[in-house]
């Protein structure tokens, strides 16, 4: 989920200055317009320590009229708060209609840190997240605009940020002076009776060591609490200029597009990010990969044997595979699927191809047509195109409102979580090719009669929206790549390399899900 937030997006000081000249008056205008409206705006700041949440809030108060903003930093909990139900402290700080409230230290914080400290089990964490969602939906139903920002920094950047902020302990009173206040040297919570929110590690190295654990908890938090009514907006925060400009733009677009009841405008103001102007997760795919023909034949045979064994192993263990194949037009999905199915007994899988929904399918929820294709335990379902059309083509072509495709992220994550909980193995592949390679393949299809059925006017029309689709893929990966259902971005300029990579990744994911004993199959291969 977070790989799309470590792509190196940045702004120079001069670029940031230009954005500021546009954003500042626009934010003030939106803020003054809000003063005449009958609903409040609540900005929820989430993310890791060291991501710059405080800096973003400072910037917002600088660019807007601070007299009309209520900023609340819930670092320490008073006796008065602890003697009442947990959400009392938040109800006390809600902004009135026509004003903006900013929350630092929110209803997510206590459950997050307790889960990291080992003080809250999975059931307790999920209950806390349901409480948070219910609270937000209560506010939204009354007309409030809830804007949730999640600021993400890489592991090394977090350590750098925390180590560079020398006066941080004075700036942030919830961080104690004792670096061992939260974690002992054995990695166990030091004070189990205390609230871990008030006993966080001050040592940057301790945060760095706990980073993978924080990632896991954060991924679950985002998956469980992202909703169409109050979606999370993920912000790459390694670069402070890009972070501040992006956060401000997201807030501005949300305020300009809001109507009570959760309906978003179809024409939000756009300053950032500009399509194609910043690196995306796809830019990090190495398209130069190449496999010689002789090597390809040898490796393909070995991998297909390995795939066949793993499919039968899954069948014996009554584990189903749900594999999703998405990618650019002419990226090679069909040929990759043929190399996969060539290795598998047809009795063990069903290959399903999807296009535009039929009238019957339109009469149901959009996930209905995918649910009904799922195979029984021990068999695989291979999807050539999938439920991700809702956040790709339907988004880019404006076939559904923005609120609908944004809500789909949480719906998709919930759908895939149910598959995993049942025991399904979920693997998702995006075949990526360059724009030049796509053009080459399009022309080849037009020139060869036996390939002309593969090319249409719609393909050429989609190509003109390459940047829009790139942005949609970026958001798709950021919002739906999870530990149990990850996205695999496959370099497809060389078709032979792509076929091998897909088989290799599928085998590795199979083995990871099936257990250690299946690795013996790989060793024999």
Q: Can you give the pTM of this predicted structure?
A: 0.68
Helix orientation angle between 333-341 and 495-514, rounded to the nearest 10 degrees = 50
Write down which residue in 261, 278, 295 finishes a domain. Answer: 278
**What domain range is 69 assigned to?**
3-278
Say yes or no: 210 and 336 in one domain: no
Residues of the chain with pLDDT under 50: 166-198, 261-270, 273, 275-276, 516-522, 524-525
Tell me which DSSP letter residue 282 carries.
Answer: G
**How many structural domains are present in the chain?**
2
Same domain, yes or no: 98 and 235 = yes
Contact 409, 226 (CB under 8 A): yes
**Pick from 278, 313, 345: which residue ends a domain?**
278
Residue 8 phi, psi (nearest 5): 90, 25
Same domain, 286 and 264: no
Report the candidate in 441, 429, 438 with the shortest Cα–Cα distance to residue 326: 429
Does residue 292 sit in the same domain as residue 180? Answer: no
> CATH number of the domain that 138 lies in?
3.40.50.300
Beta bridge partners of 249: none
* Residue recorded with tokens 């973003």: 56
The pLDDT score that the predictor gives to residue 432 is 95
Asked whether residue 45 falls in the same domain as residue 70, the answer is yes
Token readout for 285 is 């795919």
Same-domain status, 266 and 341: no
Domain end marker among 243, 278, 313: 278
Domain match, 326 and 438 both: yes
Is 344 in the same domain as 409? yes
Q: Are residues 270 and 372 in the same domain?
A: no
**C-alpha span between 280 and 287 (Å, rounded):** 14
Question: 250 and 235 in one domain?
Answer: yes
The length of the chain, given as a count of residues: 525
Please tell me whether residues 254 and 333 are part of one structural domain: no
pLDDT of residue 212: 83
330 & 274 share domain: no
């Amino acid at each position: 989920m977070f790989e799309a937030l470590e792509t190196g997006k940045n702004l120079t000081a001069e670029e940031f200055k230009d954005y500021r000249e546009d954003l500042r008056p626009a934010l003030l205008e939106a803020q003054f317009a809000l003063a005449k409206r009958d609903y409040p705006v609540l900005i929820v700041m989430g993310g890791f320590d060291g991501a710059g949440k405080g800096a973003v809030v400072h910037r917002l108060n600088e660019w807007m009229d601070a007299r009309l903003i209520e900023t609340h930093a819930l670092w320490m909990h008073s006796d008065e708060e602890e003697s009442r139900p947990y959400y009392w402290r938040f109800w006390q700080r809600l902004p009135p209609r026509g004003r903006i409230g900013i929350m630092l230290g929110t209803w997510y914080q206590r459950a997050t840190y307790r889960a990291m400290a080992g003080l809250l089990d999975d059931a307790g964490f999920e209950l806390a997240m349901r409480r948070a969602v219910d609270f937000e939906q209560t506010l939204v139903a009354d007309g409030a605009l809830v804007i949730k920002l999640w600021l993400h920094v890489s592991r090394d950047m977090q350590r750098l940020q925390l180590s560079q902020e020398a006066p941080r302990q004075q700036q942030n009173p919830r961080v104690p002076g004792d670096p061992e206040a939260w974690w002992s040297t054995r990695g166990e919570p030091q004070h189990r009776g205390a609230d871990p929110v008030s006993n966080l590690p001050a040592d940057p190295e301790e945060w760095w060591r706990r980073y993978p654990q924080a990632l896991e908890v954060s991924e679950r938090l985002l998956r469980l609490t992202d909703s169409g009514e109050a979606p999370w907006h993920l912000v790459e925060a390694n670069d402070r200029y890009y972070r501040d400009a992006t956060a401000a733009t997201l807030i501005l677009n949300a305020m300009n597009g809001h109507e009570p009841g959760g309906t978003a405008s179809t024409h939000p103001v756009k300053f950032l990010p500009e399509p194609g102007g910043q690196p995306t997760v796809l830019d990090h795919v190495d398209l130069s990969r190449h496999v010689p023909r002789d090597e390809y034949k040898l490796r393909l045979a070995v991998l297909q044997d390995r795939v066949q064994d793993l499919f039968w192993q899954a069948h014996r263990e009554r584990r189903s595979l749900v594999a999703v194949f998405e990618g650019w037009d002419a990226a090679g999905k069909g040929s990759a699927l043929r190399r996969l199915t060539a290795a598998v007994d047809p009795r063990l899988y069903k290959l399903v191809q999807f296009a535009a929904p039929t009238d019957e399918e339109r009469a149901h929820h959009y996930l209905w047509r995918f649910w009904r294709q799922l195979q029984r335990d021990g068999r695989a379902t291979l999807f050539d195109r999938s439920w991700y059309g809702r956040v790709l083509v339907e988004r880019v072509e404006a076939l559904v409102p923005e609120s609908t495709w944004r809500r789909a992220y949480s719906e998709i994550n919930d759908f895939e979580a149910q598959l995993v909980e049942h025991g399904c193995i979920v693997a998702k592949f995006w075949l990526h090719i360059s724009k030049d390679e796509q053009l080459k393949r399009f022309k080849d299809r037009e020139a060869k009669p036996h390939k002309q059925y593969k090319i249409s006017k719609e393909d050429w029309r989609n190509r003109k929206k390459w940047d829009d689709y790139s942005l949609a893929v970026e958001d798709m990966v950021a919002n739906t790549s999870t530990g149990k259902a990850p996205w695999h971005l496959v370099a497809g300029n060389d078709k032979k390399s792509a076929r091998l990579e897909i088989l290799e990744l599928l085998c590795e994911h199979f083995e990871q899900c099936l257990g250690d004993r299946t690795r013996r199959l790989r060793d024999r291969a």
